[in-house]
Amino acid sequence: MRNAPTILHLDMDAFYASVEQASKPSLRGKAVVVGGLGPRGVVATASYEARVFGVHSAMPMAQARRLAPNAAYLVPRFGLYRSISEQVMALLHELSPLVEPLSLDEAFVDLEAGEVAWDAGSARLVGEKLRADIRAATGLAGSVGLAASKMLAKIASEQAKPDGLVLIEPGTERAMLGPMTVRTLPGVGPATGDHLRRAGITTVDEIAEAGEDELVRLLGKAHGHALYAMALAHDERPVVAEREAKSVSVEDTYDVDIHDRMRVGMEVQRLADRCVRRLRGAGLSGRTIVLKVRRYDFSTLTRSETLRGPTDDPAVVREAAARLLDSVDTTGGVRLLGVGVSGLADYTQEDLFAQAAGEAAEILAEEEAAEPVAVQEAVVERRWPAGHDVRHAEYGHGWVQGSGLGRVTVRFETPWAVEPGRVRTFRVDDPELEPVEPLPLVPTIPVDGVGA
């Protein structure tokens, strides 16, 4: 382990919820919960105001609504979250070539490799500047931990939350860790924590006192050795530079199990198209098509098919996914479906037959689109997810507060507004209302009088 606190851990504070608060003036300082809003939805992120009521990530959404009935409940806007994450990661890459992202809002950085820090003083300056740069670029807060190892840097960033910086001086690690709960250490979840508690071990100091042999007896060789080393503040893991994606996939969980085989097939086709859009957006293609099916009894099946060469052709992916579905028994119902592509490459080996099939499919789609409008209106329903962006021809940019009973309620405001915007309600089929892309949290040019 190094002798200077030059490993940095950044964790953006309540990231998804903070993005929503920053983009919606009326929600600033209010309880905000982001996640799936259906009966089986779970909380992705809760703002600090919502956490006061006991709401936390991975909690069933129905339970969150009982705890915080007056919170704002919003559907995630992953495209916006990714774009902001890219801005943050770009700032980290300016500090060092060794950046290890853990998620959209969390990463390790080796400051020593970037030659920007060599002791506690220089590391602290880098951390404070990073926090200021992130706020200037995105308007959001991030917490920073600095230490001589990855484990300690992550623990430090947890202590720094929200919107702070904690630096652990080398030599003080054991004294700092000792009184902390065993759950502080990586890899100690509820089950391991309960197992240790039954053995009379509740703090990190007590793990160290128990000794390596006792931990191996309680937890097994690998886990026991690793836990004893962590209790002594030993962590030699290096910061590993960002790895290339191994696969691209999409999946949906359904509020009600799907029993109709034709509907299942249509969902798989839709997921295949979404997967290809994501694949093309990343400039990639892939050889192996993967289908994931979770059935009514929670059993999960995966099927895969490897093509002769990489493809990003939607017709090829749809056909392969359909063939894989043919081998799966969906009797009893389906609660989750997913389509993925692996074996990625940054080029495409065209298949002329697949290309011809794709052109035929496009012609068929055009013919179906040419059917009378009345027929299409009978099967196409406009959806207005809560929290998503819209624009009205008269009132401008806003976001969906909610919809139902043929109505949609919109609050008209932009991220740069000083005061909350006005609320209006429309028919769900109002021709002057349309979905749009989110606005940036920080304006790229000076904005005068916006949001009045």
In-domain check, residue 148: yes
Asked whether residue 185 falls in the same domain as residue 162, the answer is no
* Beta strands in 225-284, from DSSP E residues, in sequence order: 247-258
Asked whether residue 16 falls in the same domain as residue 134, the answer is yes
pLDDT < 50: residue spans in the chain: 347-380, 447-452
User: What CA dihedral angle connects 52, 60, 19 and 149, to 10 degrees?
Assistant: 80
Last residue of a domain, one of 357, 379, 401: 379
Is 158 a catalytic site residue? no
Query: Given this model, what pLDDT does residue 243 score?
Result: 62
Query: Given this model, what pLDDT does residue 283 score?
Result: 72
Residue 291 corresponds to which amino acid? L
Query: Given this model, what pLDDT does residue 355 score?
Result: 38
Tokens 């886990």 — which residue?
A: 223
Q: What's the CATH number where 69 sits?
A: 3.30.70.270
Q: What's the CATH number where 180 sits?
A: 1.10.150.20
In-domain check, residue 126: yes
Last residue of a domain, one of 122, 152, 170: 170
In-domain check, residue 238: no
Quote the CA–CA distance of 447 and 452 in Å, as a whole number. 11
Strand partners, 411: 399, 423
Q: Nearest Cα to 228, choosing from 244, 250, 206, 246?
A: 206
Asked whether residue 266 falls in the same domain as residue 345, the answer is yes
Find the farthest-apart pair of alpha carbons in the chain and give their distance in angstroms, rounded: 77
Own/partner pairs, 208-212, CB within 8 angstroms, 24+ separation = 208/174, 208/178, 208/232
Contact assessment for residue 123 and residue 6, using Cβ atoms and an 8 Å cutoff: yes
Asked whether residue 372 falls in the same domain as residue 391, the answer is no
Which residues 6+ apart lie within 8 Å of 394 measured at CB?
432
Asked whether residue 401 falls in the same domain as residue 353, the answer is no
Which contiguous run of DSSP H or E holds residue 317?
helix 314-326
Asked whether residue 215 falls in the same domain as residue 184, the answer is yes
Q: Which of 106, 173, 319, 413 is flagged as catalytic?
A: 106
Asked whether residue 424 falls in the same domain as residue 322, the answer is no
Asked whether residue 127 falls in the same domain as residue 166, the answer is yes
Asked whether residue 279 falls in the same domain as residue 352, the answer is yes
283-341 pLDDT, tens digit each: 788 899 999 999 888 788 999 998 888 888 888 999 999 999 998 999 889 989 999 99
Asked whether residue 348 falls in the same domain as residue 450, the answer is no
Query: Sign of the CA dihedral 425, 429, 433, 434?
Result: positive
122: its two tokens: 């220089």
Contact assessment for residue 411 and residue 399, using Cβ atoms and an 8 Å cutoff: yes
Query: Given this model, what pLDDT does residue 221 score?
Result: 84
Quote the CA–CA distance of 358 and 342 in Å, as a whole number. 21
In-domain check, residue 253: yes
353-366 pLDDT, tens digit each: 343 344 334 433 43
Strand partners, 251: 338
**Would you list the DSSP string of 188-235?**
--HHHHHHHHHTT--BHHHHHHH-HHHHHHHH-HHHHHHHHHHHTT--
In-domain check, residue 237: no
Quote the CA–CA distance of 429 and 52 in Å, as a whole number. 38
Query: Given this model, what pLDDT does residue 128 score?
Result: 97
293: its two tokens: 């099916």
In-domain check, residue 198: yes
Asked whether residue 46 falls in the same domain as residue 136, the answer is yes
Query: Given this model, what pLDDT does residue 254 score?
Result: 83
Question: How many domains does one find in the chain?
Answer: 4
In-domain check, residue 240: no
In-domain check, residue 35: yes
Residue 112: half-sphere exposure toward Cβ, Cα within 13 Å: 16
Q: Identify the domain containing residue 144 by its residue range.
A: 1-170
Q: Nearest Cα to 287, choosing from 353, 352, 349, 244?
A: 349
Query: Given this model, what pLDDT does residue 372 score?
Result: 42
What pTM was estimated for this model as a whole?
Answer: 0.70
Quote the CA–CA distance of 340 and 17 in Å, as a whole number. 28
Last residue of a domain, one of 344, 379, 414: 379
Q: What's the CATH number where 432 sits?
A: 2.30.30
Buried b / exposed e along 111-149 (16+ C-beta atoms within 10 A):
bbbbebbeebeebbebbeebbebbeeebbbbbbbbbbbb
Query: Given this model, what pLDDT does residue 343 score?
Result: 85
DSSP state of 384: -
Query: Given this model, what pLDDT does residue 17 score?
Result: 96
Q: Is residue 39 classed exposed, middle or buried when 0-12, 13-18 and 19+ CB atoms within 10 A define those classes? A: exposed
Asked whether residue 348 falls in the same domain as residue 400, the answer is no
